[in-house]
Amino acid sequence: MPSPTWDNTTLFVDDNPADRAFRHEVREWVGENLPAALCNRSTRIDPPELKPWHRKLYERGWIAPHWPEEYGGMGATLTQQIILFEEISRVGAPTPYPHGLNFIGPLIIDVGTPEQKAKHLPPILTGDITWCQGYSEAGAGSDLVRLETRAELDGDHFVVNGHKMWTTNGHFADWMFALVRTDRNATPRHAGISMLLIDLKSPGITVRPIQTIKGDAEFAEEFLVDVRVPRENLLGALNDGWKVANRLLGSERFTTGHPRNAAVLLNKARQVAELTGATREAGFLHRLAALEIDLIAFSAYYRHAAALHGEKRAPFSMAPVIKIVGGELGQRASELLVEAAGGYGALADDMRVGNHVINPAAEMFEMRRVTVGSGAVEIQRNIIAKRVLGLPS
């Protein structure tokens, strides 16, 4: 009895007939419209290079599947959102950055004023305006209680002073949504935080890129000195920023934590291993099997969680579990890729495997990012320990 084909990138896909048709439509369109130069890059693509592709998706009406139709979205189901992600990433194409579309866009839709909606939502869709997220600071990564950037009301403006760090794409962004301290005496401390929308062209802002270990500049830092932000750029109520930031429903986890990331890395590891001879090593075979088995388990969980999320029945633990497992699985897969590559795994430059060009070290560094910074896996585990398992402090 011959076994059916094994494909670790489509495990437990459970489209209904309408979904299947949609998947087919997306697949065809992506095949025809994706610029080849964007495919299968082992390093990050900066926002400017991504703009034409963003625009194409916008014009096709698929840029914001999860936004309500009245704001220019698709009002799509979670399954459709996942299908879009899967079909775009299937051919190794990049997905648009989430800061405008997934983070601040939905927040503005949720609590923004009519003016804020009218001003900010359309250019997020078109890709004309790039956003960055200004939460982290030098002393406040995972620990927002220690936020030091302060905003003081002066007439109809806030005057902002502080230093934001680790803002992805900060040096490419036009606007930043930032958490700032507006009441220094509030208890608990996070009760004195507000969310501001800040035009990065305002006087008093200096943006500097931060070079990463990978050799590119993914993050930036922003120095804010007496920056005047109009009062109407306050999102939500004053001192309500913590709650506003936590309104995100977490559906973006379903794209950033997708098991496909690990699946693609494992397939690369297998191809590289054929080349280097690692497939003849018991250790490689065992680790590959262990990772593939973890991947299939995670894929099952992922589909299950998506189905529950679609019915608004997802448990609280879902988001941290996807963050932990998805992040660690991708890391372990990238480490196996490097190990399988042997001497090639230490090269700074690309290697050619069959028709593909890959760079194991770059892939590995890319995956390290996942568990760094705010929301690191240790903290996610602390959250589950306390809030799900009820373990004492």
Partner 1 sequence: MDLLLTEPQKLFAETATRLCLDHGGPRRLRALRAAAAEIDADAWRKIIASEWLATVVAESRGGQGLGALDVALALEQAGHQLLMVPLLESAATAWTMSRAEDAARAGAGLADLLRGSRLIVPATAAASWRYGGGASGVTYDHKAGLLKGSIPFVAYGGSAEAFLVAIDAGAQPVVTIVPRSEASVTVARNVDGSTASRLTFADVHVPAEQVIATGAEAKRLALQLQDFLMLGAAAELIGLAAAALDVTLDYIKLRQQFGRPIGSFQVLQHRAVNAFIDVELNRSLVYRVLAAYDAGEHHPAMVSAAKARASRSALEIVRGALQMHGAIGYTEEHDIGLYYKRAMALSAQYGGELSHSTRFSELTLEAGALS
Determine which residue in the list 289, 347, 357, 388 makes contact with a copy of itself, applying CB under 8 A. 289
CB neighbours of 192 closer than 8 A, spacing ≥ 6?
A: 181, 182, 183, 184, 185, 186, 239
Q: Tell me if 287 contacts a copy of itself by CB under 8 A.
A: yes
Determine which residue in the list 186, 285, 346, 385 makes contact with a copy of itself, applying CB under 8 A. 285
Q: How far apart are CA 265 and CA 26, in angstroms?
A: 23
Q: How far apart are CA 30 and CA 69, in angstroms?
A: 22
Q: Tell me if 286 contacts a copy of itself by CB under 8 A.
A: yes
Query: Closest separation between CB of residue 332 and a copy of itself, Å?
Result: 15
Query: Closest separation between CB of residue 392 and a copy of itself, Å?
Result: 17
- 195 close to 135: Cβ distance less than 8 angstroms: no
| Region binding a copy of itself by CB under 8 A among candidate stretches 166-174, 279-287, 352-360, 366-374 | 279-287
Give residues 305-334 in contact with a copy of itself (rule: CB under 8 A).
none
Query: Closest separation between CB of residue 278 and partner 1, Å?
Result: 7
**Partner in contact with 309, chosen from a copy of itself, partner 1, none, beta carbon below 5 to 8 Å by kind:** none
Tokens representing 165 are 């760090």
Of 47, 30, 51, the C-alpha closest to 39 is: 30
Strand partners, 176: 132, 198
Query: Closest separation between CB of residue 68 and partner 1, Å?
Result: 26
Query: Closest separation between CB of residue 338 and partner 1, Å?
Result: 7
Query: Closest separation between CB of residue 282 and partner 1, Å?
Result: 6
Q: Tell me if 381 contacts a copy of itself by CB under 8 A.
A: no
CB closer to a copy of itself out of 26 and 288: 288
Q: Tell me if 282 contacts a copy of itself by CB under 8 A.
A: yes
Give residues 165-224 in contact with a copy of itself (rule: CB under 8 A).
none
CB closer to partner 1 out of 249 and 384: 384
Rounded to whole angstroms, what are the CA distances from 270 to 4, 149, 170, 291, 355?
Answer: 19, 47, 36, 12, 14
Query: Closest separation between CB of residue 259 and partner 1, Å?
Result: 11
Q: Is residue 86 among the annotated active site residues?
A: no
Q: Tell me if 283 contacts a copy of itself by CB under 8 A.
A: yes
**Partner in contact with 9, chosen from partner 1, a copy of itself, none, beta carbon below 5 to 8 Å by kind:** partner 1
Which of 252, 274, 281, 328 is catalytic? The answer is 252
The alpha-carbon radius of gyration of the chain (Å, integer) is 22
- What is the biggest distance separating any 2 CA atoms in the chain, rounded to whole angstroms? 78
- 178 close to 150: Cβ distance less than 8 angstroms: no
356: part of which helix (H) or strand (E)? strand 356-358
SS3 392: coil
Phi/psi for 7 (5° steps) reads -135, 110
Of 93, 102, 358, 376, the C-alpha closest to 255 is: 102
Secondary structure letter of residue 142 according to DSSP: S
| Region binding a copy of itself by CB under 8 A among candidate stretches 85-93, 142-150, 253-261, 282-290 | 282-290
CB neighbourhood size of 292 (10 A): 19
**Partner in contact with 210, chosen from a copy of itself, partner 1, none, beta carbon below 5 to 8 Å by kind:** partner 1
CB closer to a copy of itself out of 229 and 333: 333
| Region binding a copy of itself by CB under 8 A among candidate stretches 146-154, 226-234, 263-271, 277-285 | 277-285
CB neighbours of 119 closer than 8 A, spacing ≥ 6?
A: none
**Partner in contact with 164, chosen from a copy of itself, partner 1, none, beta carbon below 5 to 8 Å by kind:** none
Enzyme catalytic residues:
252
Give contact residues for a copy of itself (rule: CB under 8 A): 282-283, 285-287, 289-290
